[in-house]
């Protein structure tokens, strides 16, 4: 059952109970009848959840759905253009919204992890997305909230920015629209099955996890455009070299402390990149992947030669717990 207004009731639909076509048809019909002749909006990040929501809503509403890609300036190299282009091929028009100034403005001077996350949430929702929704005249907004998001929020593990009503905010009162959450009964494995059935490509339905705060989750200390550029370039190299490892997730982290290095025979007090590569089933626990030594050496060579200012590359060998997957 979908959420309408204040209260809701729903049960998990487990992967083994999922009837894919029936689920897709039922959600499409529910969306059509809820929105009626109205307009709806959604934000697409290219993650599997928001991609599935976009496809379902597009099926139900066609041109009465307006989809936005919000470019926070925190995404990976080429991601905004790539995702907008990918959906264009699927017949879905997505508008790219340049919100870099707002996000970097909110992050300026912040070094505390929770403050950084809060700055992103407060910029994404009320400042950028709610204004877009209002301007478009939409009466409905889609969100990709899934069953695990609800569970973790209720347990107080994670504060998800897509959980508005669970935080006691009435979106109708606060923002003037209602929220539709078509995936609220599903966990990720079931959502991946729906994604494939909807015709999304493997790069979407098999996409490794990527955090909501994007590269800001991988910058220790202040998140500035320059520091994101550094971690973005390192991420590109890590993803290129580790994409065939079958690992659960792999990432680059920019450290705050500098270390002494040597470049062209001169002392260079430079930046440090930490590489993490995880074996995991569900991200709740994780073990560092036993990467071959030559891959580790190649990572160091490429990162120090292709990312300006980096003089040190390390590999994390700590499991989760006590480590976490991300650094912030
Ligand atoms: P941690 O770092 O908590 O990460 O061990 C567990 C998994 O969750 C992802 N992650 C996030 N995902 N918003 C998200 O949507 C977040 O704020 C966030 N933080 C971490 C992380 O990439 C890993 O897969």
Average pLDDT over residues 264-285: 96
Q: Residue with the nearest Cα to atom 6 of ligand 1?
A: 283
pLDDT averaged over every residue in the chain: 93
Q: Residue with the nearest Cα to atom 7 of ligand 1?
A: 283
User: Cα(283) to centroid of ligand 1, in Å?
Assistant: 8
Average pLDDT over residues 166-179: 78
Reported pTM: 0.91
Report pLDDT for 31: 98
User: Cα(102) to centroid of ligand 1, in Å?
Assistant: 23
CB 70 within 8 A of CB 84: no
Average pLDDT over residues 199-218: 96
Residue 1 has pLDDT above 90, yes or no: no
User: Cα(327) to centroid of ligand 1, in Å?
Assistant: 10
Q: Residue with the nearest Cα to atom 21 of ligand 1?
A: 211
Report pLDDT for 3: 44
Report pLDDT for 4: 44
CA-based nearest residue to 218, from 165, 172, 275: 275
Average pLDDT over residues 197-225: 96
Average pLDDT over residues 296-321: 98
DSSP letter string, 211-272: -TTGGGGGB-S---HHHHHHHHHHHHHHHHHHTTS--SEEEEEE-SS-EEEEETTEEEEEEE
Q: Residue with the nearest Cα to atom 10 of ligand 1?
A: 211
User: Cα(269) to centroid of ligand 1, in Å?
Assistant: 31
- How does pLDDT run across 48-92, given as a tens digit for each residue? 999 999 999 999 999 999 999 999 999 999 999 999 999 999 999
Cα radius of gyration rounded to whole Å, the chain: 21
- What is the atom index within ligand 1 of the atom nearest the CA of 280? 24
Ligand 1 interacting residues, C-beta cut-off 6 A? 209, 211-213, 217, 249, 283, 320, 324-326
Residue 2 has pLDDT above 60, yes or no: no
**Residues 31, 37, 41, 44, Cα dihedral to 10°:** 50
User: Cα(288) to centroid of ligand 1, in Å?
Assistant: 16
Report pLDDT for 160: 60
């Amino acid at each position: 059952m979908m959420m309408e207004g204040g209260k809701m009731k729903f049960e998990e639909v487990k992967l083994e109970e999922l009837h894919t076509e029936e689920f897709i048809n039922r959600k499409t019909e529910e969306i059509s009848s809820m929105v009626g002749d109205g307009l709806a909006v959604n934000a697409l990040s290219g993650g599997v959840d928001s991609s599935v929501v976009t496809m379902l809503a597009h099926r139900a509403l066609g041109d009465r759905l307006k989809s936005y890609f919000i470019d926070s300036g925190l995404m990976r190299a080429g991601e905004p253009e790539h995702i907008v282009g990918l959906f264009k091929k699927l017949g879905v028009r997505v508008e790219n919204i340049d919100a870099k100034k707002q996000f970097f403005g909110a992050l300026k001077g912040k070094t505390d992890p929770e403050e950084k996350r809060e700055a992103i949430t407060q910029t994404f929702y009320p400042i950028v997305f709610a204004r877009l929704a209002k301007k478009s005249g939409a009466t409905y907004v889609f969100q990709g909230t899934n069953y695990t998001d609800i569970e973790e929020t209720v347990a107080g593990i994670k504060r998800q920015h897509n959980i508005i009503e669970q935080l006691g905010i009435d979106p109708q009162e606060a923002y003037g629209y209602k929220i539709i959450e078509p995936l609220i009964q599903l966990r990720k494995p079931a959502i991946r099955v729906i994604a494939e059935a909807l015709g999304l490509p493997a790069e979407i339905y098999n996409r490794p996890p990527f955090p909501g705060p994007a590269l800001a989750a991988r910058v220790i200390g202040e998140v500035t455009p320059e520091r994101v550029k550094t971690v973005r370039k390192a991420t590109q190299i890590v993803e290129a070299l580790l994409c065939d490892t079958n690992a659960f997730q792999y990432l680059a982290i920019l450290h705050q402390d500098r270390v002494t290095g040597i470049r062209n025979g001169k002392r260079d007090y430079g930046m440090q990149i930490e590489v993490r590569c995880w074996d995991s089933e569900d991200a709740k626990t994780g073990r560092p992947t036993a990467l071959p030594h030559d891959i580790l050496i190649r990572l160091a060579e490429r990162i120090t030669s292709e990312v300006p200012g980096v003089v040190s590359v390390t590999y994390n060998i700590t499991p989760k717990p006590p480590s976490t997957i991300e650094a912030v």
